[in-house]
Amino acid sequence: MTKKSIAYACLSLIATCFAECSPCVGNKDIEDTISAPFIKVAETCSPAVVHIYGEAKSPSTSQQRQKGVNPYDEFFEQFFGAPPPQKRPQGSVGSGFFVSEDGYILTNYHVVQQAQTIYISRESDGVNIPAELIGFDKKSDIAVLKIDSQGEKLPYLCFADSDAIRVGQFVVAIGSPFELRNTVTTGTVSATHRNKLQLSQIDDFIQIDAAINPGNSGGPLLNLQCQVIGMNTAIFSQSGGSIGLGFAIPSKMLKMVYNQIREKGVVERGVMGVQLQELNSDLASAFKLPSKTTGVVISDVVKDSPADKAGLHPGDVIVSIDGKSVSSPEAVIAIVGQKTAGDTVVLEVLQGGKKKSYSIVLASPNAGIGSSDLSLQRFGMQVSILTPEKAYQQGMRIDDTGMVITSVTPNSKAAKAGLRQGMIIVVVNGKKIRSYEDLNDALKNPQDKGKHIFLVSYQGRASFHYIEE
């Protein structure tokens, strides 16, 4: 066959393909078959997705005038001066989705972190509905909200197993980018278990190329079975818009955090009691390991921790956890971060060059910052032990005891009770507070079930505050 005849044959084939794909002559059956799953996800899942608006604690003053909107602005300003600056309520916007028929909603914590008042609106009615912040987990950037469903059975989404997703599979994202509500975008999973992104303390993300933009935060990432596989959380962009690098929190983390907050009011992660570092070629050589060995080095073991009791030592190299290979401290933290106290993890470890297996039951966090979080996070506040320096600053005796309120979440139960950052908790439910243990015991034994009375000191004045569970 000559080059000329080959060219004619190719042109004929292209023309045939073009005719089959032409809008006028196209194969509608093929189009319907390809589009059907995406249409089903959009139609089925959109009613369960909400727009979230968080109104800031206090309005900020806008100092800038919008020139050119009114042609007489500059004329009047020459004679009467600039009008007083207008106060405009500042807030955050994002997305969320129902995870129960009685009104529980998941979103990103950063969407509501600074909000004094939170509202959600649904696609079906567009009405602003007040929402309560039930709890949050800073480490994973997840928050749980609740609205009064008033007896209505709300549409909600179910979780898929994010460990089962595969690179290349189709995904659908729904949210409110730039407040364009219930926007649907599609794409594929670009990667799984992305870490070292420094997007949250637990760095474990699904990477997607579906377009997500500011306002998508907190919205669902769905598979073609209409199940949640993640929560859209962040993008990498130089322009502020999507360039095909989006990141979502895996559904396994979402489910764990939601169940913990709904059942306990807080997230109580299990701990092994180890410190970790990267295994580089120099350390591998020092430990007499093959140069291509991958794993994570245990640099320290906390005394009497689960790891210590199991027989782990500094210098041991964790190769896998629950059958999943690990090559960075972030990978270990991500896996353990999805576990709760009492859960068991199976570690494969290189100890003196020999491979060993350890079954470790994770413990509750030791007394300290973790205990503080567990005690009072459900009320929306965190505390630390009162130091002599802080006592002196507050006009107290340097040997006075108590807990300093280090943060209070806007619109939380603590905020509504009048508790503020800097206050010193002296007595809880009639019990003087000297330690985290005192605080935990006092909260477990209120004089009236479910009702807690706090005596606090602030700038030399004492006051009582009441919080109901």
Share of the chain above pLDDT 90, in %: 38
pTM, 2 dp: 0.67
Active-site pick, 51, 110, 193, 452: 110
Identify whether 110 is a catalytic site residue.
Answer: yes
Tally the residues of the chain.
469
DSSP code per residue over 205-231: EEEE-S---TT-TT-EEE-TTS-EEEE
Reported as a single tens digit per residue, the pLDDT across 303-355 is 888 898 899 989 899 999 999 999 888 889 888 888 888 899 999 999 888 89
Structure tokens, 313: 């030592």
What confidence score (pLDDT) does residue 175 get? 94
Reported as a single tens digit per residue, the pLDDT across 230-283 is 999 998 876 777 788 999 999 999 999 999 898 887 788 888 888 888 888 888
Identify whether 299 is a catalytic site residue.
Answer: no
DSSP code per residue over 164-187: G--TT-EEEEEE-GGG-TTEEEEE
Mean pLDDT for the chain overall:
82
301 pLDDT higher than 90: no
Active-site pick, 46, 95, 140, 141: 141
**Measured between alpha carbons, how far is residue 375 from residues 108, 385, 397, 427, 436 in Å?**
22, 13, 26, 14, 8
Q: Evaluate whether 321 touches 270 at the Cβ level (below 8 Å).
A: no
What confidence score (pLDDT) does residue 189 get? 96
56 pLDDT higher than 90: no
180 pLDDT higher than 70: yes
Residue among 168, 215, 207 at smallest CA distance from 49: 215
Identify whether 121 is a catalytic site residue.
Answer: no
Give all domains of the chain, ordered by start, each with its CATH number: 25-60+87-265 (2.40.10.120), 274-361 (2.30.42.10), 369-468 (2.30.42.10)
Phi-psi region at 2: left, alpha or beta (left = phi > 0; alpha = psi -120 to 50): beta
What confidence score (pLDDT) does residue 60 get? 43
Active-site pick, 217, 251, 372, 375: 217
Q: Kindly indicate the confidence band of residue 7, based on its pLDDT and cuts at 50, 70 and 90.
A: low
